[in-house]
């Protein structure tokens, strides 16, 4: 297991008040710029009266900061209890590089290497809530395209009985395996391959989610969706922008709904 630093006692900066969805694109995956190495703030316990920051104990501290992140996501309109519980349970700081650990609970995407990013938790929560279709019971088998660092896959393992997650970049597939080892999630299966073709062996899926956006939704994904299942993915819409798209496979056909604008990294074919 890769040694991780203790979680730094730095509270996330306060988020702006929630605004109506659909106004400005939600930057889930801005194309990472060449960034200079972030400067780590010296360790210091910041006492904010309304937040239960434990002065001792790394575990408690990260739990409190995560609770603050969950409250902000709730304020953005996410209500699904299972999704909120998963966000509280999964330690996001275990999925980012050491130099970025103290930004792990800010509602922002962060670079994870190879030009990719860990998704913004607010957008991940929104997509997972859509995937759950307002139902409180666990989903059956689900598929994620774009494992990246494995954060969303870990959240999904709390929400579904079986999770398959595919990544096309070998380096990230291996990184996610390493990140996820610590969590021991026996219902999560990591696959290396081109997710454009889905993963037929696990089909049909109760839910499919993509963390990368293409010009359209690949037909294979819709084929591999169960009747009653839902797909949530970013895709370019008629207006030429990338939007969240929900596809429901019903007994009488396919229902496609376009939601707010988003910005995800591109869906690419083949492996590398």
> Residues with catalytic annotation?
119
Q: What is the dihedral of CA 112, 115, 118, 119, to 10 degrees?
A: 170
Q: Which stretch binds ligand SAH (CB under 6 A): 8-16, 17-25, 80-88, 160-168?
A: 160-168
Tell me how far, at minimum, the Cβ of 110 lies from ligand SAH, in Å. 9
148 interacts with ligand SAH by CB under 6 A: yes
- Determine which residue in the list 123, 125, 128, 149 makes contact with ligand SAH, applying CB under 6 A: 149
Contact 73, 105 (CB under 8 A): no
Q: Which stretch binds ligand SAH (CB under 6 A): 55-63, 75-83, 126-134, 194-202?
A: 194-202
Contact 249, 184 (CB under 8 A): no
231 interacts with ligand SAH by CB under 6 A: no
String of DSSP letters for 55-110: SS-HHHHHHHHHHHHHHHHHHTT---HHHHHHHHHS-GGGGS-GGGGGGTTSSS-E
196 interacts with ligand SAH by CB under 6 A: yes
- Determine which residue in the list 121, 195, 207, 229 makes contact with ligand SAH, applying CB under 6 A: 195
- Determine which residue in the list 11, 83, 169, 231 makes contact with ligand SAH, applying CB under 6 A: 169
- Determine which residue in the list 116, 157, 224, 243 makes contact with ligand SAH, applying CB under 6 A: 116
């Amino acid at each position: 297991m890769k040694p991780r630093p203790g979680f730094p006692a730095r509270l996330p900066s306060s988020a702006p008040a929630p605004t109506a969805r659909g106004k400005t694109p939600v930057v889930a995956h801005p194309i990472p710029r060449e960034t200079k190495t972030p400067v780590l703030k010296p360790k210091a316990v910041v006492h904010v009266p309304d937040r239960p920051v434990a002065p001792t104990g790394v575990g408690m501290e990260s739990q409190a900061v995560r609770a603050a992140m969950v409250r902000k996501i709730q304020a953005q309109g996410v209500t699904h209890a299972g999704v909120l519980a998963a966000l509280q349970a999964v330690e996001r700081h275990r999925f980012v590089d050491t130099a970025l650990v103290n930004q792990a609970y800010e509602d922002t995407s962060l670079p994870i290497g190879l030009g990719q990013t860990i998704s913004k938790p607010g957008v991940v929560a929104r997509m997972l809530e859509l995937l759950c279709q307002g139902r409180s019971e666990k989903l059956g088998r689900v598929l994620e395209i774009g494992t990246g660092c494995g954060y969303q896959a870990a959240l999904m393992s709390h929400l579904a009985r079986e999770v398959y997650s595919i990544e096309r970049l070998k380096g990230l597939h291996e990184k996610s395996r390493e990140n996820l080892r610590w969590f021991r999630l026996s219902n999560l299966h990591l696959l290396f391959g081109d997710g454009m073709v889905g993963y037929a062996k696990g089909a049909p899926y109760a839910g499919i989610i993509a963390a990368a956006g293409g010009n359209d939704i690949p037909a294979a994904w819709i084929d591999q969706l169960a009747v009653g299942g839902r797909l949530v993915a970013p895709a370019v819409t008629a207006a030429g922008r990338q939007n969240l798209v929900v596809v429901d496979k019903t007994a009488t056909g396919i229902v496609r709904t376009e939601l707010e604008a988003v910005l995800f990294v591109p869906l690419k074919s083949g492996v590398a």
